Amino acid sequence: MSDDTIKLDELDRRIVVATQAGLPLVAEPYQQVAEALGVTAEEVMQRLQRMLESGIIRRIGAVPNHYTLGFRGNGMTVWDVPDEKVVEYGEKIGALDFVSHAYHRPRFLPEWRYNLFAMVHGRNRDELKQKIDTIAQMLGEDNRAHEVLFSTRILKKTGLRLVTGS
Amino acid sequence: MDDIDRSIINNLQGGFPICDHPYAVVAERLGIGESDLLERLQQMLEKKQLSRFGPMYHAERLGGGLSLCAMRVPEADFERVAEQVNAFPEVAHNYARDHEFSMWFVLGTETPERVEEACREIEQVTGYRVYNMPKKQEFFVGLKFEV
Per-residue model confidence as pLDDT tens digits over A1-52: 444 556 789 999 999 999 998 999 999 999 999 999 999 999 999 999 999 9
Task: Please give the C-alpha separations between residue A122 and each of A73, A131, A134, in angstroms, as whole numbers.
Answer: 5, 8, 12
A162 pLDDT higher than 70: no
Is A14 strand, coil or helix? helix
Task: Give percent of chain B above pLDDT 70.
Answer: 97
B31 pLDDT higher than 70: yes
Peptide bond into A110 cis (omega under 30): yes
**pLDDT tens for residues A125-143?**
999 999 999 999 999 999 9
Please state which of the ranges A78-87, A129-138, B135-144 shows the lowest mean pLDDT.
B135-144
Of all residues in chain A, the one with the smallest CA distance to B17 is A60
Q: What is the pLDDT of residue A134?
A: 97
CA distance A78 to A91: 15
B60/A5 touch (CB, cutoff 8 Å), yes or no: yes
B95/A153 touch (CB, cutoff 8 Å), yes or no: yes
Q: What is the pLDDT of residue A97?
A: 87
Q: What is the pLDDT of residue A51?
A: 96
> Which one is predicted more confidently, B67 or B13?
B67
Residues sharing a CB contact under 8 Å with residue B5, sequence separation 6 or more, in sequence order: B40, B44, B49
Q: DSSP class of residue B111?
A: S
What is the ipTM, given to two decimal places?
0.84
CA distance B7 to B30: 8
Q: Is the pTM of this model over 0.95?
A: no
Q: Are A25 and B36 in contact (CB under 8 A)?
A: no
Q: Are B6 and B134 in contact (CB under 8 A)?
A: no
CB of B87 less than 8 A from some CB of A: no
Q: How confident is the model at residue A164 (pLDDT cuts 50, 70, 90)?
A: low
Q: Which domains does chain B have, with CATH numbers?
A: 3-46 (no CATH), 60-133 (3.30.70.3460)
Mutual angle of helices B22-30 and B34-46, in 10-degree steps: 100
The beta-carbon neighbor of A103 closest among B54, B89, B139 is: B139
State the smallest CA–CA distance between residue A3 and chain B in angstroms.
8
State the smallest CA–CA distance between residue A89 and chain B in angstroms.
9
B38/A161 touch (CB, cutoff 8 Å), yes or no: no
Q: What is the pLDDT of residue B93?
A: 92
B27 pLDDT higher than 70: yes
Task: Please give the C-alpha separations between residue A150 and each of A75, B100, B104, in angstroms, as whole numbers.
Answer: 5, 12, 11
Q: Which of A12, A58, A76, A78 to probe by mutation at the B interface, max B CB count within 10 Å? A: A58
Q: What is the pLDDT of residue A1?
A: 42
Q: What is the pLDDT of residue B113?
A: 94
List chain A residues with CB under 8 Å of B131: 108, 111-112
A98 pLDDT higher than 50: yes
Q: Are A61 and B12 in contact (CB under 8 A)?
A: yes
CATH topology of domain A8-53: Arc Repressor Mutant, subunit A (1.10.10)
Nearest to B6 by CA among B39, B22, B28, B30: B30
Nearest to B71 by CA among B26, B113, B119, B118: B119
B33 pLDDT higher than 60: yes
List chain B residues with CB under 8 Å of A26: 38
Q: What is the pLDDT of residue A157?
A: 84
Q: Are B55 and A60 in contact (CB under 8 A)?
A: yes
Identical fold at A8-53 and A73-149? no
CA distance A81 to A17: 39
Domain locations in chain A as residue ranges: 8-53, 73-149
Q: What is the pLDDT of residue A62?
A: 93
**pLDDT tens for residues A52-72?**
999 999 999 998 888 888 888
Nearest to B116 by CA among B137, B134, B93: B134
Is B147 strand, coil or helix? coil
Mean pLDDT score, B31-57: 95
CATH topology of domain A73-149: Alpha-Beta Plaits (3.30.70)
A162/B98 touch (CB, cutoff 8 Å), yes or no: no
A166 pLDDT higher than 60: no
B125 pLDDT higher than 80: yes
Mean pLDDT score, B64-93: 96
A104 pLDDT higher than 50: yes
